Amino acid sequence: MRLATLHNARPDGELVVVSADGQRYLSASGLTLIGAIADWDAALPALEKLAGLLEQGKGGVLDAARIVAPMPRSWQWLDGSAFAQHGELMQIAFHLPPVDTDRPLMYQGVSDKFYSATDDIPLPSEADGIDFEGEFGVIVDAVPMGVSAEEAASHIKLLVQINDWSLRAIAPVEMKTGFGWVQAKPPCSMAPFAVTPDELGEDWRDGRICADLAVTWNGAPFGLVKGDQMGFSFPELVAHAARSRDLVAGTIIGSGTVSNAEYATRGSACISERRAIEMIADGKPSTSFMHFGDRVQMEARTAQGTTPFGAIDQIVTRA
């Protein structure tokens, strides 16, 4: 099942169920996604009924211009860094010591706003090192404190695709304080559709979104990275986040930048990783960060050739 949120006069928008081809929709009777996820078992039958009607050819034409982020705001956004290759490249390039832990890396970011897939992204300065980060994420229902990874799997209700914007010149300054990022992490963007795990078929396995993520920058291919090389699965990330607290329904948890060991042929999902590769090979980076007017596009592609989340297509602008 594929879900989207349409813009209306309310901050959480109007939840709709979308046809498999992304062309038609039926409204979920005044529901919002953050409201539906809070009582998912009760909301699911009605949503599945709408999905069945769409399969029969019912529904109105979906106006792409009205689509906002599937969840325009959330109670909580927790982003991991679950791809070991990305971390290793950054450590080598910047001569950083390995992180001495067997725990997943995770931080808490901005959750009161998620940009739509086509919003322009206003930022204050090119000197801040503007970067995109292609990743995947999950949305959970209420998760009890102390849940195991096995138990956590059943709390993953929806899958999403995310562009986690980063300001690379600010990040090291904030990291040195020992506290979390604030200025270095603007709001993220989400692809148009949130999907139930069954929509991915064989590309949802081992608690991982194993689809390819195609990234282009100013029309040029930048990366075609695969999501199956996560060092920690999404259920493990959920369990990590819930070790000492309950997770409220609607919490979104990200994978971190998708990264592959075959980066020489597959490319990367963020500029910082490409710069790290250049530093390792040449002693200095040759790729700049983004400029105002630059365009980034991201689209997940399954083994069956489907694009379940739709595409992110955004331009960076001066705030």
158 contacts 195 by C-beta, under 8 angstroms: yes
Average pLDDT score, the chain: 95
Q: Alpha-carbon distance 200 to 213, whole Å?
A: 13
Same domain, 59 and 94: no
pLDDT for residue 100: 65
Least confident of 80-84, 94-98, 183-187: 94-98
Same domain, 52 and 116: no
Q: Alpha-carbon distance 180 to 300, whole Å?
A: 29
Same domain, 9 and 119: no
Q: Alpha-carbon distance 176 to 127, whole Å?
A: 19
Instruction: Using the predicted structure, report yes or no on whether residue 53 has a pLDDT greater than 80.
Output: yes
Same domain, 111 and 27: no
Give residue 87's pLDDT band: very low, low, confident or very high (50, 70, 90).
Answer: confident
Same domain, 58 and 74: no
Same domain, 10 and 148: no
Same domain, 11 and 158: no
DSSP code for 203: G
pLDDT for residue 38: 97
Count of the separate structural domains present in the chain: 2
pLDDT for residue 199: 96
Same domain, 160 and 23: no
Per-residue pLDDT, averaged over 278-298, amounts to 96
Give the predicted TM-score (pTM) of the model: 0.96
Could you tell me what percent of the chain has a pLDDT over 90?
89
Give residue 96's pLDDT band: very low, low, confident or very high (50, 70, 90).
Answer: confident
Same domain, 61 and 141: no
Question: Residue 19's domain spans which residues?
Answer: 1-68
Same domain, 162 and 306: yes
18 contacts 54 by C-beta, under 8 angstroms: yes
Instruction: Using the predicted structure, report yes or no on whether residue 51 has a pLDDT greater than 80.
Output: yes
